[in-house]
Structure 1
Amino acid sequence: MTTPTPVPSPAQAARVLLKQLQADFEVFRQAKPLAIGIDKQLIAKLPDVNRKVLRIALGMHTNSLRYLKVMEKATERFNLEGQVDGEVTDTHRSHAAQTVRERLKKEADQRRAERAAQQAEEARRQSEEKLHQLAAKFSRGR
Protein backbone atom coordinates (compact mmCIF):
# COMPACT_ATOMS: atom_id res chain seq x y z
CA MET A 1 0.00 0.00 0.00
CA THR A 2 1.37 3.41 -0.93
CA THR A 3 0.82 6.48 1.16
CA PRO A 4 -0.82 9.35 -0.69
CA THR A 5 1.44 12.28 -1.51
CA PRO A 6 0.33 15.31 0.49
CA VAL A 7 -1.05 18.06 -1.69
CA PRO A 8 0.71 21.36 -0.98
CA SER A 9 -1.46 24.26 0.09
CA PRO A 10 -1.72 27.20 -2.32
CA ALA A 11 0.62 29.19 -0.04
CA GLN A 12 3.21 26.39 -0.05
CA ALA A 13 2.94 26.05 -3.82
CA ALA A 14 3.31 29.84 -4.14
CA ARG A 15 6.53 29.78 -2.08
CA VAL A 16 7.92 27.09 -4.39
CA LEU A 17 6.86 29.09 -7.46
CA LEU A 18 8.42 32.27 -6.05
CA LYS A 19 11.74 30.46 -5.53
CA GLN A 20 11.52 29.30 -9.15
CA LEU A 21 10.79 32.86 -10.35
CA GLN A 22 13.75 34.17 -8.36
CA ALA A 23 15.98 31.50 -9.90
CA ASP A 24 14.73 32.13 -13.45
CA PHE A 25 14.32 35.92 -13.56
CA GLU A 26 16.79 38.54 -12.36
CA VAL A 27 14.00 41.09 -11.74
CA PHE A 28 12.65 38.78 -9.01
CA ARG A 29 16.10 37.92 -7.64
CA GLN A 30 17.01 41.61 -7.31
CA ALA A 31 13.51 42.66 -6.18
CA LYS A 32 13.33 45.25 -8.96
CA PRO A 33 9.99 47.03 -9.41
CA LEU A 34 7.87 44.83 -11.65
CA ALA A 35 6.11 46.11 -14.74
CA ILE A 36 2.36 46.53 -14.49
CA GLY A 37 0.88 43.38 -16.04
CA ILE A 38 3.88 41.19 -15.23
CA ASP A 39 1.41 38.39 -14.50
CA LYS A 40 0.45 38.28 -18.19
CA GLN A 41 4.14 38.07 -19.16
CA LEU A 42 4.60 35.21 -16.71
CA ILE A 43 1.54 33.33 -17.96
CA ALA A 44 2.88 33.66 -21.53
CA LYS A 45 6.24 32.19 -20.43
CA LEU A 46 4.74 29.61 -18.03
CA PRO A 47 1.40 28.61 -19.60
CA ASP A 48 0.89 25.69 -17.18
CA VAL A 49 1.19 27.83 -14.06
CA ASN A 50 -1.79 27.83 -11.71
CA ARG A 51 -3.10 31.41 -11.83
CA LYS A 52 -4.20 31.43 -8.18
CA VAL A 53 -0.78 30.22 -7.06
CA LEU A 54 0.86 32.83 -9.32
CA ARG A 55 -1.27 35.60 -7.77
CA ILE A 56 -0.28 34.46 -4.27
CA ALA A 57 3.42 34.26 -5.24
CA LEU A 58 3.33 37.75 -6.76
CA GLY A 59 1.62 39.04 -3.62
CA MET A 60 4.31 37.50 -1.40
CA HIS A 61 7.01 39.06 -3.56
CA THR A 62 5.51 42.54 -3.87
CA ASN A 63 4.60 42.69 -0.18
CA SER A 64 8.05 41.64 0.99
CA LEU A 65 9.97 44.23 2.96
CA ARG A 66 12.87 43.96 0.51
CA TYR A 67 10.66 44.74 -2.50
CA LEU A 68 8.87 47.59 -0.71
CA LYS A 69 12.18 49.19 0.30
CA VAL A 70 13.30 49.12 -3.34
CA MET A 71 9.94 50.58 -4.44
CA GLU A 72 10.33 53.52 -2.01
CA LYS A 73 13.19 54.91 -4.09
CA ALA A 74 12.48 53.48 -7.54
CA THR A 75 11.55 55.48 -10.60
CA GLU A 76 11.35 52.70 -13.22
CA ARG A 77 9.58 49.34 -13.55
CA PHE A 78 11.05 46.32 -15.33
CA ASN A 79 9.75 43.45 -17.45
CA LEU A 80 10.90 39.83 -17.19
CA GLU A 81 13.90 40.49 -19.44
CA GLY A 82 15.06 43.31 -17.16
CA GLN A 83 14.17 46.07 -19.62
CA VAL A 84 12.55 49.29 -18.44
CA ASP A 85 8.79 48.92 -18.83
CA GLY A 86 7.04 51.86 -17.22
CA GLU A 87 7.59 54.16 -14.29
CA VAL A 88 6.96 53.97 -10.57
CA THR A 89 4.48 56.70 -9.70
CA ASP A 90 4.76 58.97 -6.67
CA THR A 91 1.60 57.26 -5.36
CA HIS A 92 3.23 53.83 -5.54
CA ARG A 93 6.45 55.12 -3.94
CA SER A 94 4.58 56.77 -1.07
CA HIS A 95 2.41 53.66 -0.57
CA ALA A 96 5.56 51.52 -0.34
CA ALA A 97 7.15 53.96 2.12
CA GLN A 98 4.02 54.04 4.28
CA THR A 99 3.79 50.22 4.29
CA VAL A 100 7.47 49.91 5.29
CA ARG A 101 6.99 52.43 8.14
CA GLU A 102 3.88 50.64 9.41
CA ARG A 103 5.51 47.22 9.24
CA LEU A 104 8.68 48.35 11.03
CA LYS A 105 6.58 50.09 13.71
CA LYS A 106 4.48 46.97 14.19
CA GLU A 107 7.60 44.82 14.56
CA ALA A 108 9.10 47.27 17.07
CA ASP A 109 5.83 47.32 19.05
CA GLN A 110 5.80 43.50 19.12
CA ARG A 111 9.41 43.39 20.37
CA ARG A 112 8.55 45.96 23.08
CA ALA A 113 5.51 43.94 24.16
CA GLU A 114 7.56 40.74 24.31
CA ARG A 115 10.25 42.46 26.43
CA ALA A 116 7.60 43.87 28.77
CA ALA A 117 6.02 40.42 29.16
CA GLN A 118 9.43 38.88 29.92
CA GLN A 119 10.17 41.59 32.48
CA ALA A 120 6.77 41.12 34.11
CA GLU A 121 7.33 37.35 34.29
CA GLU A 122 10.78 37.84 35.81
CA ALA A 123 9.37 40.28 38.40
CA ARG A 124 6.58 37.80 39.25
CA ARG A 125 9.11 34.97 39.63
CA GLN A 126 11.35 37.09 41.90
CA SER A 127 8.38 38.12 44.02
CA GLU A 128 7.28 34.51 44.37
CA GLU A 129 10.82 33.50 45.33
CA LYS A 130 10.96 36.19 48.05
CA LEU A 131 7.60 35.06 49.42
CA HIS A 132 8.89 31.47 49.65
CA GLN A 133 12.05 32.69 51.42
CA LEU A 134 9.98 34.69 53.92
CA ALA A 135 7.62 31.77 54.50
CA ALA A 136 10.58 29.44 55.07
CA LYS A 137 12.23 31.93 57.45
CA PHE A 138 9.14 32.42 59.62
CA SER A 139 8.08 28.80 59.64
CA ARG A 140 11.45 27.55 61.04
CA GLY A 141 10.80 28.68 64.56
CA ARG A 142 7.52 26.80 64.94
Structure 2
Amino acid sequence: MLKSLQEQFPVFRDCLPLAIGIDKALLARMPEIEKKVLRIALSLHTHSMRYLRATEKASHRFDLDGNQAEELTEEHRKHASDTIRERLKKQAEERRAQQKAEKEAEAARVRTEKLTALAEKFSRK
Protein backbone atom coordinates (compact mmCIF):
# COMPACT_ATOMS: atom_id res chain seq x y z
CA MET A 1 0.00 0.00 0.00
CA LEU A 2 2.73 2.46 0.97
CA LYS A 3 4.66 1.70 -2.21
CA SER A 4 1.52 2.44 -4.22
CA LEU A 5 1.03 5.76 -2.42
CA GLN A 6 4.66 6.71 -3.09
CA GLU A 7 4.23 5.97 -6.79
CA GLN A 8 0.99 7.95 -7.11
CA PHE A 9 1.54 10.96 -4.89
CA PRO A 10 4.62 13.21 -4.75
CA VAL A 11 3.97 14.08 -1.09
CA PHE A 12 4.65 10.45 -0.12
CA ARG A 13 7.53 9.95 -2.55
CA ASP A 14 9.30 13.12 -1.37
CA CYS A 15 8.44 12.43 2.28
CA LEU A 16 6.87 15.83 2.82
CA PRO A 17 4.86 16.59 5.97
CA LEU A 18 1.30 15.51 5.29
CA ALA A 19 -1.67 17.85 5.53
CA ILE A 20 -4.05 17.25 8.40
CA GLY A 21 -6.91 15.06 7.14
CA ILE A 22 -4.89 13.51 4.32
CA ASP A 23 -6.55 10.18 5.11
CA LYS A 24 -9.94 11.60 4.12
CA ALA A 25 -8.50 13.02 0.90
CA LEU A 26 -6.97 9.63 0.08
CA LEU A 27 -10.25 7.82 0.75
CA ALA A 28 -12.08 10.32 -1.48
CA ARG A 29 -9.66 9.68 -4.35
CA MET A 30 -9.27 5.95 -3.74
CA PRO A 31 -12.52 4.64 -2.23
CA GLU A 32 -11.41 1.02 -2.72
CA ILE A 33 -8.79 1.34 0.04
CA GLU A 34 -9.65 -0.26 3.37
CA LYS A 35 -9.48 2.26 6.20
CA LYS A 36 -7.49 -0.07 8.45
CA VAL A 37 -4.87 -0.74 5.75
CA LEU A 38 -4.62 2.99 5.04
CA ARG A 39 -4.15 3.78 8.74
CA ILE A 40 -1.34 1.24 8.98
CA ALA A 41 0.37 2.58 5.85
CA LEU A 42 0.09 6.17 7.09
CA SER A 43 1.45 5.17 10.48
CA LEU A 44 4.45 3.44 8.92
CA HIS A 45 5.09 6.46 6.73
CA THR A 46 4.74 9.12 9.42
CA HIS A 47 6.87 7.19 11.93
CA SER A 48 9.78 6.70 9.53
CA MET A 49 13.01 8.54 10.32
CA ARG A 50 12.97 10.15 6.87
CA TYR A 51 9.50 11.61 7.47
CA LEU A 52 10.35 12.76 10.99
CA ARG A 53 13.52 14.50 9.77
CA ALA A 54 11.57 16.24 7.01
CA THR A 55 8.89 17.31 9.49
CA GLU A 56 11.51 18.59 11.92
CA LYS A 57 12.81 21.06 9.30
CA ALA A 58 9.66 21.94 7.34
CA SER A 59 7.56 25.06 7.65
CA HIS A 60 4.37 23.80 5.96
CA ARG A 61 2.32 20.67 5.43
CA PHE A 62 1.42 19.47 1.94
CA ASP A 63 -1.65 18.04 0.23
CA LEU A 64 -1.74 14.97 -2.04
CA ASP A 65 -0.60 16.97 -5.08
CA GLY A 66 2.40 18.43 -3.27
CA ASN A 67 0.85 21.88 -2.81
CA GLN A 68 1.44 23.77 0.43
CA ALA A 69 -1.37 23.41 2.91
CA GLU A 70 -1.43 24.69 6.49
CA GLU A 71 1.63 25.87 8.37
CA LEU A 72 3.47 23.26 10.44
CA THR A 73 3.31 24.21 14.11
CA GLU A 74 6.34 24.46 16.34
CA GLU A 75 4.74 21.84 18.58
CA HIS A 76 4.71 19.31 15.71
CA ARG A 77 8.32 20.12 14.75
CA LYS A 78 9.36 19.68 18.37
CA HIS A 79 7.50 16.36 18.57
CA ALA A 80 9.41 15.14 15.49
CA SER A 81 12.72 16.27 17.03
CA ASP A 82 11.94 14.59 20.35
CA THR A 83 10.91 11.36 18.63
CA ILE A 84 14.12 11.29 16.60
CA ARG A 85 16.22 11.99 19.70
CA GLU A 86 14.46 9.27 21.72
CA ARG A 87 14.78 6.73 18.92
CA LEU A 88 18.50 7.42 18.45
CA LYS A 89 19.06 7.22 22.21
CA LYS A 90 17.23 3.88 22.37
CA GLN A 91 19.25 2.52 19.44
CA ALA A 92 22.50 3.58 21.13
CA GLU A 93 21.44 1.90 24.38
CA GLU A 94 20.53 -1.29 22.53
CA ARG A 95 23.88 -1.24 20.72
CA ARG A 96 25.75 -0.81 24.02
CA ALA A 97 23.76 -3.63 25.63
CA GLN A 98 24.50 -5.91 22.68
CA GLN A 99 28.21 -5.09 22.78
CA LYS A 100 28.28 -5.75 26.53
CA ALA A 101 26.52 -9.10 26.06
CA GLU A 102 28.99 -10.04 23.31
CA LYS A 103 31.97 -9.16 25.55
CA GLU A 104 30.52 -11.17 28.43
CA ALA A 105 29.90 -14.16 26.15
CA GLU A 106 33.47 -13.95 24.84
CA ALA A 107 34.85 -13.75 28.40
CA ALA A 108 32.79 -16.79 29.41
CA ARG A 109 34.04 -18.71 26.36
CA VAL A 110 37.67 -17.85 27.18
CA ARG A 111 37.15 -18.90 30.83
CA THR A 112 35.64 -22.18 29.73
CA GLU A 113 38.53 -22.83 27.35
CA LYS A 114 41.07 -22.10 30.09
CA LEU A 115 39.29 -24.32 32.59
CA THR A 116 39.08 -27.11 30.03
CA ALA A 117 42.79 -26.75 29.25
CA LEU A 118 43.66 -26.84 32.96
CA ALA A 119 41.44 -29.84 33.53
CA GLU A 120 43.10 -31.69 30.67
CA LYS A 121 46.58 -30.73 31.90
CA PHE A 122 46.05 -31.92 35.46
CA SER A 123 43.67 -34.80 34.89
CA ARG A 124 44.91 -38.28 35.63
CA LYS A 125 45.12 -40.53 32.67
- TM-score scaled by length of structure 2: 0.97
Of the three residues 61, 83, 107, the one matched with 1:123 is 107
The separation in 2 between residues aligned to 1:47 and 1:139, in whole angstroms, is: 78
Residue 135 of structure 1 pairs with residue 119 of structure 2: yes
Amino acid at match of 1:19: K
Amino acid at match of 1:103: R
Of the three residues 28, 53, 59, the one matched with 2:12 is 28
| Aligned equivalent of 1:98 | 82
| Aligned equivalent of 1:78 | 62
Q: Secondary structure at the match of 1:47?
A: coil
The separation in 1 between residues aligned to 2:66 and 2:91, in whole angstroms, is: 33
Gaps of 5+ in 1: 1-16
The separation in 2 between residues aligned to 1:48 and 1:104, in whole angstroms, is: 37
Residue 60 of structure 1 pairs with residue 48 of structure 2: no
Q: Secondary structure at the match of 1:117?
A: helix
Q: Secondary structure at the match of 2:19?
A: coil
Q: Secondary structure at the match of 1:22?
A: helix
Q: Secondary structure at the match of 1:36?
A: coil
Residue 88 of structure 1 pairs with residue 72 of structure 2: yes
1:2-41 alignment, distance < 5 Å: 17-41=1-25
Deviation at 1:30, TM superposition (A): 1.0
Gaps of 5+ in 2: none
Q: Secondary structure at the match of 2:100?
A: helix
The separation in 2 between residues aligned to 1:138 and 1:57, in whole angstroms, is: 64
| Aligned equivalent of 1:113 | 97
Which aligned runs of 4 or more in structure 1 are off by greater than 3 angstroms? Answer: none
State the percentage of identical aligned residues.
55
Deviation at 1:72, TM superposition (A): 0.7
The separation in 2 between residues aligned to 1:84 and 1:77, in whole angstroms, is: 6
- TM-score scaled by length of structure 1: 0.85
Aligned residue-pair number: 125
What do the CA deviations read for 1:21-44 (whole angstroms, capped 9, x no partner)? Answer: 011111101110001110111011
